[in-house]
């Protein structure tokens, strides 16, 4: 600490100088903040202002900067000092823009600014310049698990970007489902006709690519390590095994078709004339250039009925509850197999909602003009009789029960079931009954389980809105139908994205930087093991499975797997986990730095711990829109609500704060939390804080949790003011003046 030299810079531009007393702020920074250097500038983000800071860094040997100006989210390019620890006091969005410019408000506005300067000074003195992750990994080869369209695309795209790829395919040939198709759905202009699958060319390209090595008839026996240094044991069917070093993994294990044998009401299995979509592809491939024949007797096909949503979108709880998204277009394509060969064949598609994402609408129109009949209805049963069937259905437009007789061929659109391995937290014996394949695919040696965690219905978890390619295992990316149901075109795009994400992960691991959402972050979790009580909370709660355990159940951090959310730091009851620039101390010091007026002042203090991803920007934007909120709040951004350690809450309460608002992202199945589980964990932890409050003889309202979205710039001020009213009602905290 002896070589720390601190400097505070007060910007008086953007109206800060007019609204606030800069002299007073400077005095606070100097006397209370104990800053070695305090400077003012009328336009700090100008080249002159930035030069002033640079000069001090060079000539004065400043190591720690506190900039009191705009929000930490503004002017990040001007205030970019990568070699210096820095904190920012938000005087613009957080104070002058969110407070009314009136004489009455002048005093509280100044107090707010004073506190933010105190907090900024306190924070920066506890910060260290992140040195970068020591857990480097330099493997730059991408492992692709699965040799279908998604896997092949990922390998080829990685190769095109200049990286080597290793492909492991379970079966004896490449191509997956796509290789079993007669043709694929139209995927380029004019989207009118089925197209060649192109699988043959793709396989040839793959096989002739010097960057790509293919291992067939093989599976992954074990995956160990972290991004940049995965060690993968590959077991080949013949019995041989090998271990390979890879930097990142794309899991493209695809899907299985939903088992049509579970649909006896549609006569599957009772007559060979009822097939699923895969079955029709087989018939079409067998027929080749000839017309498709009726399987039961080889008779001519004059009438085909396609049953959409067979065993899908089922709300009875028996079949798949979701829409697989590709099957409508597939049925359209298959109806064209018949219509293109012979327009006299009757083809009827019975659907409840025809869903053709992408440019499928043109394909749908094309089928209509080719004479494929589309009937909005729900099929209730298929009755076999001789070589023909009768398809009964409820016509949903005419609202009546009706039927199509003399149908030669019935095609069931049964949908996709992901091949996603074992879910996190699956009890081993329950796995056997599950719909998804219970066999582990990656066999990760991670403490939290052998495969990618799933969200719903067996599909792997990803932050659907912001980071769709991500999974909850850093450096491992799911691509294709294992992630969500999709068709070839979508899987191609998906796999391209996953390959690029894999490359990013390898490069980040090589440089010791964090992956998204804190891309480029050089800080990493540091644990002081001599204080650890082996409680395992961090290893269990880490949303990304970054922390393993050694034989004595001490945590073993794999920094390259870490996303830097700080959930472990929030979980740790003995507070031995910290980041260099974000720790129990950096936030704790800010909380303690605030000047809490006595209980007769009528000036309560409300601490707001706001998620830096959504809630803090929303508060900033509230300021930008001049949405006024209570002057009694003091906002501290946190990496994620999951990183909030209970000590901050008790510290704040013992310091005499009257209330604490925690603002994080939405959690649940449709979560918005950038760290997937952080806000959920925080709300679980906080649901138990009532006891603590009662023990401290405090009202339970004094700690409140809110779900705030980035778009809530109008709602957030309202929440703050409502909460301030609640505090006003229950009265000032009785704990003031004891700390």
Partner 1 sequence: MGNMTELNEQALAKYRNSFLHEVEERVEEGDWVKMCMQCGVCAGSCTFGPHWEHSPQKIFMMIRAGKREEVLRSDSMWMCTSCYNCVVRCPRKLPITQIMHGLAQYAHRLGVAPKMQPTRDLSLIFWNNCIKTGRVNELRFTLSLYFKDGLMAGIRQALSMQSIALALLMAKRLNPLEFFKGHECKDKAGIHRMLKKAQEIESRRQGAHK
Q: Give least dist CB 375 to partner 1, A.
A: 7
Report the residue number, 171 or 352, with the smaller CB distance to partner 1: 352
Residue with tokens 């959690």: 667
Q: Is 373 in the site for partner 1 (CB under 8 A)?
A: yes
Q: Is 190 in the site for partner 1 (CB under 8 A)?
A: no
Part of the chain binding partner 1 (CB under 8 A), chosen from 275-283, 360-368, 513-521, 653-661: 360-368
Spatial distance between the Cα atoms of 687 and 705, rounded to a whole number of angstroms: 9
Q: Is 76 in the site for partner 1 (CB under 8 A)?
A: no
Report the residue number, 243 or 368, with the smaller CB distance to partner 1: 368
Q: Give least dist CB 361 to partner 1, A.
A: 9
Single residue of 219, 257, 312, 375 touching partner 1 by CB under 8 A: 375
Part of the chain binding partner 1 (CB under 8 A), chosen from 236-244, 265-273, 366-374, 502-510: 366-374
Two structure tokens written together for 509: 């691991």
Part of the chain binding partner 1 (CB under 8 A), chosen from 212-220, 287-295, 371-379, 722-730: 371-379
Spatial distance between the Cα atoms of 61 and 63, rounded to a whole number of angstroms: 6
Q: Give least dist CB 186 to partner 1, A.
A: 17
Report the residue number, 216 or 354, with the smaller CB distance to partner 1: 354
Distance from the Cα of residue 536 to its chain's centroid = 24
Report the residue number, 349 or 720, with the smaller CB distance to partner 1: 349
Part of the chain binding partner 1 (CB under 8 A), chosen from 213-221, 267-275, 391-399, 713-721: 391-399
Report how many helices (DSSP H) and strands (DSSP E) the chain contains, helices first.
18, 31
Q: Taking a C-beta distance cutoff of 8 angstroms, is the pair 502, 483 a contact?
A: no
Q: Give least dist CB 343 to partner 1, A.
A: 11
Angle ∠(354,356,359) on CA atoms, nearest 5: 145
Q: Is 368 in the site for partner 1 (CB under 8 A)?
A: yes
Give the start-end residues of each E strand in 507-575. 526-527, 547-549, 555-557
Spatial distance between the Cα atoms of 87 and 637, rounded to a whole number of angstroms: 11
Report the residue number, 287 or 396, with the smaller CB distance to partner 1: 396
Q: Is 387 helix (H, G, I), strand (E, B) or coil?
A: coil
Report the residue number, 342 or 368, with the smaller CB distance to partner 1: 368
DSSP 456-525: ETTEEP-BTTTBTT--SSTTEEE-GGGTS---HHHHHHHHHHHHHHHHHHHHHHHHT---TTSTT-----
Binding-residue pattern over the window 336 to 355 for partner 1, x denoting contact by CB under 8 A: ------------------x-
Distance from the Cα of residue 704 to its chain's centroid = 25
Single residue of 369, 687, 695, 697 touching partner 1 by CB under 8 A: 369
Spatial distance between the Cα atoms of 449 and 90, rounded to a whole number of angstroms: 42
Spatial distance between the Cα atoms of 441 and 408, rounded to a whole number of angstroms: 40
Q: Give least dist CB 488 to partner 1, A.
A: 24
Report the residue number, 349 or 417, with the smaller CB distance to partner 1: 349
Spatial distance between the Cα atoms of 63 and 7, rounded to a whole number of angstroms: 8
Q: How far is CA 142 from CA 38, 301, 475, 477, in A?
A: 50, 48, 10, 11
Single residue of 54, 282, 376, 394 touching partner 1 by CB under 8 A: 376
Report the residue number, 131 or 398, with the smaller CB distance to partner 1: 398
Question: How many CB atoms sit inside 10 A of residue 103's CB?
Answer: 7
Report the residue number, 216 or 396, with the smaller CB distance to partner 1: 396
Report the residue number, 374 or 477, with the smaller CB distance to partner 1: 374
Q: Taking a C-beta distance cutoff of 8 angstroms, is the pair 268, 276 a contact?
A: yes
Report the residue number, 373 or 387, with the smaller CB distance to partner 1: 373
Q: Is 374 in the site for partner 1 (CB under 8 A)?
A: yes
Q: Give least dist CB 397 to partner 1, A.
A: 4
Q: Give least dist CB 365 to partner 1, A.
A: 7
Single residue of 15, 134, 321, 371 touching partner 1 by CB under 8 A: 371
Q: Please list, residue by residue across 71-90, b when 16 or more beta carbons sit within 10 angstroms of its beta carbon and e when fewer do.
A: bbebbeebbebeebbbbbbb
The count of residues interacting with partner 1 (CB under 8 A) is: 14
Part of the chain binding partner 1 (CB under 8 A), chosen from 38-46, 311-319, 394-402, 721-729: 394-402
Q: Taking a C-beta distance cutoff of 8 angstroms, is the pair 197, 183 a contact?
A: yes
Q: Give least dist CB 293 to partner 1, A.
A: 23
Q: Give least dist CB 348 to partner 1, A.
A: 9
Which of the residues 395 through 414 are near partner 1 (CB under 8 A)?
A: 395, 397-398, 402
Q: Give least dist CB 396 to partner 1, A.
A: 9
Q: Is 659 helix (H, G, I), strand (E, B) or coil?
A: strand
Across the strands, what pairs with 184?
195
Report the residue number, 395 or 585, with the smaller CB distance to partner 1: 395
Phi, psi angle pair for 483, to nearest 5°: -95, -45
* Residues that bind partner 1 in the complex, under the rule CB under 8 A: 354, 364-365, 368-369, 371, 373-376, 395, 397-398, 402
């Amino acid at each position: 600490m002896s070589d720390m030299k601190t400097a505070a810079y007060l910007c008086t531009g953007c109206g800060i100088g007019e609204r606030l007393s800069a002299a007073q702020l400077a005095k606070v920074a100097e006397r209370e903040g104990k800053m070695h250097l305090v400077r003012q500038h009328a336009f700090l983000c100008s080249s002159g202002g930035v030069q002033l800071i640079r000069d001090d860094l060079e000539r004065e040997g400043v190591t720690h900067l506190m900039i009191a100006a705009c929000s930490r989210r503004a002017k990040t390019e001007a205030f970019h000092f990568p070699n210096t620890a820095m904190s920012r006091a938000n005087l613009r969005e957080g104070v002058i823009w969110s407070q009314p410019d009136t004489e009455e408000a002048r005093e509280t506005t100044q107090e707010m600014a004073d506190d933010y300067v105190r907090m900024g000074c306190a924070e920066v003195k506890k910060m260290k310049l992140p040195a970068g992750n020591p857990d480097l990994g330099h493997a730059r080869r991408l492992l692709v698990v699965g040799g279908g369209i998604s896997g092949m695309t990922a390998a080829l795209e990685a190769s095109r970007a200049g990286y080597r790829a290793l492909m492991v395919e379970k079966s004896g040939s490449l191509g997956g489902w796509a290789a079993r198709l007669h043709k694929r759905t139209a995927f380029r202009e004019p989207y009118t006709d089925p197209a060649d699958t192109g699988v043959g060319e793709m396989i040839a390209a793959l096989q002739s690519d010097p960057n790509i090595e293919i291992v067939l008839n093989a599976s992954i026996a074990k995956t160990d390590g972290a991004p940049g240094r995965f060690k993968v044991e590959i077991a080949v069917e013949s019995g041989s095994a090998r271990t390979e070093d890879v930097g990142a993994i794309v899991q493209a294990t695809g899907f299985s078709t939903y088992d049509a044998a579970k649909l006896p009401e549609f006569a599957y299995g009772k007559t060979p004339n009822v097939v699923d979509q895969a079955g029709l592809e087989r018939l079409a491939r067998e027929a080749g250039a000839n017309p498709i024949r009726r399987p039961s007797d080889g008779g001519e096909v004059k009438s085909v009925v396609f049953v959409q949503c067979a065993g899908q979108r089922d709300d009875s709880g028996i079949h798949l509850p979701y829409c697989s998204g590709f099957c409508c277009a597939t049925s359209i394509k298959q109806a064209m197999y018949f219509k293109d060969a012979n327009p006299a064949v009757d083809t009827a598609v019975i659907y409840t909602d025809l869903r053709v994402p992408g440019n499928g609408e043109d394909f749908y129109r094309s089928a209509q003009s080719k004479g494929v009949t589309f009937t909005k209805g729900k099929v209730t049963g298929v009755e076999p009789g001789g070589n023909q069937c009768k398809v009964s259905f409820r016509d949903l437009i005419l609202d009546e029960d009706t039927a199509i007789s003399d149908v030669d061929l019935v095609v069931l659109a049964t949908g996709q079931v992901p091949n996603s391995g074992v879910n996190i937290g699956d009890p081993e014996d329950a796995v056997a009954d599950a719909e998804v394949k219970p066999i582990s695919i990656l066999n990760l040696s991670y403490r939290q389980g052998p495969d990618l965690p799933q969200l719903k219905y067996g599909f792997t978890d990803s932050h659907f809105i912001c980071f769709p390619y991500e999974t909850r295992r850093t450096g491992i990316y799911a691509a294709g139908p294992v992630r969500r149901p999709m068709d070839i075109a979508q899987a191609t795009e998906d796999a391209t994205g996953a390959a690029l994400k894999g490359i990013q992960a390898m490069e980040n691991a090589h440089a010791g930087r964090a992956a998204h959402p804190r891309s480029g972050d050089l800080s990493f979790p540091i644990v002081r093991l001599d204080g650890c009580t082996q409680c395992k909370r961090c290893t269990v709660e880490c949303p990304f499975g970054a922390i393993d355990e050694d034989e004595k159940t001490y945590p073993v951090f794999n920094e390259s797997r870490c996303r830097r959310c700080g959930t472990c730091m929030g979980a740790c009851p003995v507070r031995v986990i910290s980041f260099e620039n974000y720790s129990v101390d950096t936030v704790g010091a800010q909380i303690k730095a605030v000047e809490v007026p006595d209980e007769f002042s009528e000036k309560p203090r409300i601490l707001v711990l706001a998620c830096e991803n959504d809630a803090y920007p929303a508060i900033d934007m509230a300021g930008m829109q001049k949405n006024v909120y209570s002057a009694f709040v003091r906002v501290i951004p946190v990496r994620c609500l999951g990183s909030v350690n209970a000590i901050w809450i008790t510290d704040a309460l013992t310091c005499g704060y009257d209330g604490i608002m925690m603002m994080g992202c939405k959690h649940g199945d449709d979560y918005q939390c950038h760290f997937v589980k952080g806000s959920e964990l925080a709300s679980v932890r906080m649901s138990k804080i009532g006891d603590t409050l009662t023990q401290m003889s405090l009202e339970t309202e004094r700690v409140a949790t809110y779900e705030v979205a980035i778009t809530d710039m109008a709602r957030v001020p309202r929440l703050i003011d409502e909460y301030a009213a609640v505090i006003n009602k229950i009265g000032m905290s009785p704990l003031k003046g004891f700390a």
